[in-house]
A and B are shown apart, each in its own frame.
Chain A
Amino acid sequence: MASRAAKAVGRNVLRKEGHAKVTGAARYIDDLTFPGLLHARTIRSTIPAGQIAKVRFKGDRAGFTLVDHHDIPGRNIVALIDDDQPCLAERAIRHVAEPILLLVHEDREKLRAAEVQIDYRPSTPNYDPETSAIAFKSIAIDKGNVDEGFAAADVIVDGEYRTGLQEQLYIETNGVIAVPGHGVAGGDDGITVYGSMQCPYYVHRALMILLGLPAEQVRVIQTETGGGFGGKEEYPSMIAGHAALAALKTGRPVKLVYDRVEDMLATTKRHPSIIRHRTGVTRDGRLTAMDIDAVLDGGAYATLSAVVLSRGMIHAAGPYRCDHVRIRGRATMTNTPPNGAFRGFGAPQTQFAADVHMDRIAERLGLDPVRVREINALRPGDTTATGQRLGADSSALRVLREAVKRTDFKKRRRALASSNGPAEAGRHTPARGIGLSLFFHGSGFTGAGEVKLASKASLALTGRGARIHVASTEIGQGTRTMLAQIVADALGVPYEHIDVNAADTGEVPDSGPTVASRTCMIVGRILQRCAEEMRGRLGSLTPRQYLRKFGPLTITKQYERPAGMVWDDTLYKGDAYGSYGWGCDVVEVEVDRDTFEVKATAFTTVHEIGKAIHPTLALGQIEGGSAQGLGYALLEDVVMRDGRMTNATLTNYIIPTSLDTPPMKVVLLENPYPHGPSGAKGVGEMPIDGPAPAVINALRHAGFDLREIPATPEKIMAVAS
């Protein structure tokens, strides 16, 4: 077949579902309805720890169905890693807002008004992750010998850093509809669940185990999803289980869509962290030893804490080289709602600490923050904390120098410093500062994760091109569009001739979860291989000619680990990721000297991502992720009291609005990864790693010695001299 199509990769083609989204035609979960639809409401614990003593429904039960753990035909767990979390509590309560039972009714008003009285025998909760006796996971990374490293140091710098909870705050709340019958073969048995989610096959597996059903009797279909950011990675397995139990008990479709308050109270958030650094350094600024200790607050159940910790620890030393590194981390249990996946997955926490610490090192040595990073930034040929030798596709120095140049950083820093002189301090001019951060982010699952996942993707020939079959979900980032671009070029057909199937477990293979910045680099590459083979099979025929002559053609391929990648999961040594993206952020802040409110006034970021398959989409990831990172740094404050979020409304939990978000200058650099499609690496998560340390470093420059986020006015006031 002749290659007459204009190249799609690298061009800003129109996103596949763009028209549906701007016309209101796109169907999200709450837009769907089914004949005989019932609604469900989740009744949750109001205490953080204890036992359920008694459950009583108050009032008229007519028309209500109650669902509790007795209605579970399979195992009462939300299957994920540790299988410790019940789908519906039996006796023990470990956190506020733990689901106990479901009420089902056709009338939402009646459902809202219903009252259930639950008596408890409370026990003493623990909210301190450091003293918790239960660790979901501990990780140790050792490189060289830190004692030797400290012996070689001229100066030792200590620091303790803390990060808070953060709510994903997708604008579409979690929601599902469960419909009895599995649909694939039109049978009445089994269950079909539609929903807002990132990982249909996670939900599929969890439902099989909860309901005791074989794979073919469970069907999970992703509906258009209004944002995820990790918040729809594991939680949909829980809510899908609830709706499925209710649908099976009533024999009718059941809708379960959370309102904003419930979504904030009950669903997962970013793990808070406490991270201590002790670093040996020579007088001229070279790192000789890094000793890092981190605790992540996992909340009440394990969820994904083990893997969040893993990514966090692998990134804990930041993008810096050092021969002697010791990293110790643990994720522990506390009596708060479980924390879970959120864009960045542990790396924003640990790189916050690493890069704020780097500025403290520079300060101690009297070096400027750029110089200390130039000396220590990882170069090609260097090894990371896990001993991974970096290839030519690593770009720490490049992004740093580009950001410094674009912002005229050193000059700007001097100018702002002098604007904060004693003469100005008395007046009502704001204090101003500028700071930067250097960061990296591994693409794909950690270590042997991709080999274990063994993701599959399929491509089916159509009359005009091909149809992509993957479980990778479009959640706003542009999955459909970007995958279609990769396939179009590999197959040699126009982008418009590539269709993308719904992420429906009845129709698509398991291409793995839509997480970990893996969809483009990993799934995109599998599809590219499918398309290359399909192109070979077509030879000189057009798709239509081929179909007429030989009949249907579907090509399925599985992930193949690039040759030479080695990982030891017990020692935490080796090639943690196939490749890394690299970034450098520069932010300017203004602090009001009376109210201590902070405004980010300018933001520049340089991102090296291998190859931008679709520059507008890549830019969207970087700008959106950076805005979330600025929110994380300054605004987003989850207030917990007695194990309960007390500000669980959009009025009281503040995310950046158009007025809070500074103008953003984004610079994209491309240093291709040989095993990514057209050289692409991941881009989804990295943007959220950089803003928080850059903001805190800018605040330090403005005169406020803070080591914690969010940097709320109260905290800044406390450190103001």
Chain B
Amino acid sequence: MRLILNGKRRELNVHPLKRLLDVLREDCALTGTKEGCGEGECGACTVLLDGAPVNSCLVPAAHADGARLMTIEGLGGRHRLQRAFVEHGGAQCGICTPGMILAAVALGPKPSLNAIKVGLAGNLCRCTGYSAIYRSIRQA
């Protein structure tokens, strides 16, 4: 399969039904995408597929064929959301953080509080109680 992964053309030889999550972590050595449940409930495995957030634990590799895929590594390290998550306590243990940040990227600039709450409803965080995540996104 071919795809554009974090802005670069990639060709991968993987089983079409392999979970996209495993393709990223095992075949591409991109371990920033996390597994929290493997059943589409926690959002820790969120990546952006053609700009839209998906749970990569539920997506078979074949779905990413020909797509633009973005993982946390593709954000570089200077994105305003990344900085804001460090400054405002949006990341505690950090296991939900890559998925949270990508879900927040998909909300576009300056989302309303309500848009954030709805947009992140599929991303669980057990550490923060979400408030610090809202502050991070709103002040990014």
Whole-angstrom CA separation of A656 from B118 in the bound complex: 13
Whole-angstrom CA separation of A128 from B125 in the bound complex: 33
Any chain B CB within 8 A of the CB of A22?
yes
Any chain A CB within 8 A of the CB of B59?
no
User: Contacts A31-B31, A171-B36 hold; do A475 and B89 have CB atoms under 8 A apart?
Assistant: no
A171 touches B31 (CB 8 A): no
Q: Which residues of B contact A169 (CB under 8 A)?
A: 126
Any chain A CB within 8 A of the CB of B87?
yes
Interface members, chain B 2-23 (any A CB < 8 Å): none
B121 touches A172 (CB 8 A): no
B120 touches A27 (CB 8 A): no
B71 touches which of A24, A26, A619, A656 (Cβ 8 Å): A24
A650 touches B41 (CB 8 A): yes
B86 touches A170 (CB 8 A): no
Report how many A-B pairs have Cβ atoms within 8 Å. Answer: 165
**Which partner residue on chain A sits nearest B26 by CB separation?**
A33
B131 touches A171 (CB 8 A): no
Measured between C-beta atoms, what is the minimum distance from B130 to chain A in Å? 5
Whole-angstrom CA separation of A35 from B93 in the bound complex: 28
User: Contacts A227-B126, A658-B116, A658-B121 hold; do A620 and B97 have CB atoms under 8 A apart?
Assistant: no
Whole-angstrom CA separation of A18 from B44 in the bound complex: 17
Measured between C-beta atoms, what is the minimum distance from B49 to chain A in Å? 17
* Smallest CB-CB A-B distances: 9 pairs: A24-B32, A476-B93, A226-B95, A627-B129, A21-B94, A18-B86, A476-B92, A31-B31, A650-B41
Main secondary structure of the interface of B (DSSP, over half): loop
Q: Which residues of A contact B128 (CB under 8 A)?
A: 620, 623-624, 627
Q: Which residues of B contact A23 (CB under 8 A)?
A: 32, 72-73, 75-77, 82
A624 touches B41 (CB 8 A): no
Interface members, chain B 77-114 (any A CB < 8 Å): 77, 81-83, 85-89, 91-98, 101
Which of B25, B91, B122, B126: most chain A CB closer than 10 A? B126
Any chain B CB within 8 A of the CB of A649?
yes
Whole-angstrom CA separation of A18 from B86 in the bound complex: 5
Q: Which residues of B contact A651 (CB under 8 A)?
A: 39, 41
B37 touches which of A21, A224, A625, A650 (Cβ 8 Å): A650
Measured between C-beta atoms, what is the minimum distance from A12 to chain B in Å? 8
Please encode chain A, from 193 to 230, with 1 for each CB lying within 8 Å of some chain B CB and 0 for all others. Answer: 00000000000000000000000000000001111110
Measured between C-beta atoms, what is the minimum distance from A9 to chain B in Å? 17
B92 touches A260 (CB 8 A): no
**Which partner residue on chain A sits nearest B125 by CB separation?**
A171
B124 touches A260 (CB 8 A): no
Whole-angstrom CA separation of A657 from B89 in the bound complex: 18
Measured between C-beta atoms, what is the minimum distance from B123 to chain A in Å? 8
Any chain A CB within 8 A of the CB of B58?
no
B interface, size bucket = 35 or more
User: Contacts A226-B93, A624-B92, A659-B117 hold; do A476 and B86 have CB atoms under 8 A apart?
Assistant: no
Whole-angstrom CA separation of A18 from B87 in the bound complex: 8
Whole-angstrom CA separation of A433 from B24 in the bound complex: 48
Main secondary structure of the interface of A (DSSP, over half): loop
Measured between C-beta atoms, what is the minimum distance from A21 to chain B in Å? 3
- Beyond known contacts A476-B92, A658-B121: 6 more, CB 8 A cutoff: A22-B94, A23-B73, A620-B92, A623-B129, A624-B126, A627-B130
A interface, size bucket = 35 or more
Residues of A within 8 A of B (CB): 12, 14-15, 17-28, 30-31, 168-173, 224-229, 259-260, 475-478, 616-617, 619-620, 623-628, 649-651, 655-659, 661, 663-664
B39 touches A260 (CB 8 A): yes
B30 touches A476 (CB 8 A): no
A658 touches B120 (CB 8 A): yes
A171 touches B96 (CB 8 A): yes
Q: Which residues of A contact B73 (CB under 8 A)?
A: 23-24
A661 touches which of B82, B91, B93, B130 (Cβ 8 Å): B130
Whole-angstrom CA separation of A170 from B33 in the bound complex: 16
Q: Which residues of B contact A227 (CB under 8 A)?
A: 92-93, 95, 126-127
B41 touches A24 (CB 8 A): no
Which of A25, A27, A170, A171: most chain B CB closer than 10 A? A171
Whole-angstrom CA separation of A26 from B81 in the bound complex: 17
A14 touches which of B31, B86, B94 (Cβ 8 Å): B86
Which of B71, B73, B91, B118: most chain A CB closer than 10 A? B91
Q: Which residues of A contact B32 (CB under 8 A)?
A: 23-25
B86 touches A657 (CB 8 A): no
Whole-angstrom CA separation of A661 from B121 in the bound complex: 10
Whole-angstrom CA separation of A78 from B6 in the bound complex: 45
Whole-angstrom CA separation of A584 from B70 in the bound complex: 44
A664 touches B131 (CB 8 A): yes
Which of A31, A651, A664: most chain B CB closer than 10 A? A31
Q: Which residues of A contact B34 (CB under 8 A)?
A: 28, 30, 171-172, 226
